[in-house]
Amino acid sequence: MPRCDVCFRQCEIAEGLTGFCGARKCENGTVIPANYGRITAAALDPMEKKPLKMFMPGSRIFSIGSYGCNLRCLFCQNSDISWSDEAFGLAKVTPYHSPEEVVERAAELKQMGNVGIAFTYNEPLIGYEFVRDTAKLSHETGLANVLVTNGTASEKVLNEISPYIDAMNIDLKAFTDSFYKKIAGGDLDMVKHFIEGAVRTAHVELTTLIIPNENDSEDEMRALSAWVASLQDKYKKTIPLHVTRFFPRFHMTDRDATPVGTVKRLAEVARERLDTVFTGNI
């Protein structure tokens, strides 16, 4: 049975079926991205909304997303367009848009301040082929490319896209294996490996959402920021960290929003090792 090699799940996918992410399908004995060119969301966003604070600040970027995700975060902010029944239903009737069409639209939006294309909203890397093909064309027209991702992808995927991606915001959801397994259904080691590889080739900013009683300890933030600092020292690059506030969403409505004071305190802890730390959602 064909095996998908995008992430740690290594799904074996029978003919005509899809893997865990809901977007990679076995067709004629080959695993393909069924969501290739199926854009379910598009907007011209401020760059800071990605969030990217230190990449082309003050600019706007054409942001597109499809459907599917290889994680199942209990606090998901975009479940309705990533992997809900509605998202998969919408995908069946979503018109196809080629990389050429997307780049043409991005170029048209230059007159409104657009500087490029951001692959975002769902998890872009489960359809990395579309990201790769579109970003390559985008670069050829002088546009910038941004990726907003959970970083749960193999080195092969990173190598396919890295020549064409200028900046990434990567979720570093926590710094414990238990959080990734219990809350996100993910793999911390794969994310760390992806982040380090991304830092070598692109401008990278990280986002950590602080959830009460899950990843809000000072010890964990010290471990996380020390690791980020080690990457900065190794690659001689600044890696901004966004420490953001959680609001009850999806399957995590059993707790209050993170106290603003907690977010500010943990940002100060991170600043013990990092010079560039931002707070968000406060």
pLDDT in tens, 34-55: 999 999 899 999 999 999 999 9
Band of pLDDT at residue 178, cut at 50, 70 and 90: very high
Query: Nearest 5°: CA angle at 81, between 45 and 176?
Result: 90
Between CA 262 and CA 21 the distance in angstroms is: 33
Q: Is the peptide bond before 51 cis (omega within 30 degrees of 0)?
A: yes
What pLDDT sits at residue 201? 97
> What percent of the chain is predicted at pLDDT more than 90?
90
Strand partners, 201: none
Length of the chain: 282
Band of pLDDT at residue 256, cut at 50, 70 and 90: very high
> What percent of the chain is predicted at pLDDT more than 70?
96
The set of residues, in sequence order, having a beta carbon less than 8 Å from that of 27 and lying 6+ positions away, is: 15, 16, 34
pLDDT higher for 136 or 1?
Answer: 136
Which domains are assigned to the chain? 37-280 (3.20.20.70)
What pLDDT sits at residue 81? 72
What pLDDT sits at residue 26? 97
What pLDDT sits at residue 78? 79
Q: Letter for the amino acid at 235?
A: Y
Q: Is there a contact between 134 and 154 (Cβ–Cβ < 8 Å)?
A: no
Between CA 211 and CA 144 the distance in angstroms is: 33
Q: Does the structure show a pLDDT above 80 at 103? A: yes
pLDDT in tens, 78-102: 777 776 666 666 666 788 999 999 9
Query: pTM (2 decimals)?
Result: 0.96
Mean pLDDT throughout 146-156? 98
Mean pLDDT throughout 95-121? 97
Between CA 123 and CA 278 the distance in angstroms is: 23
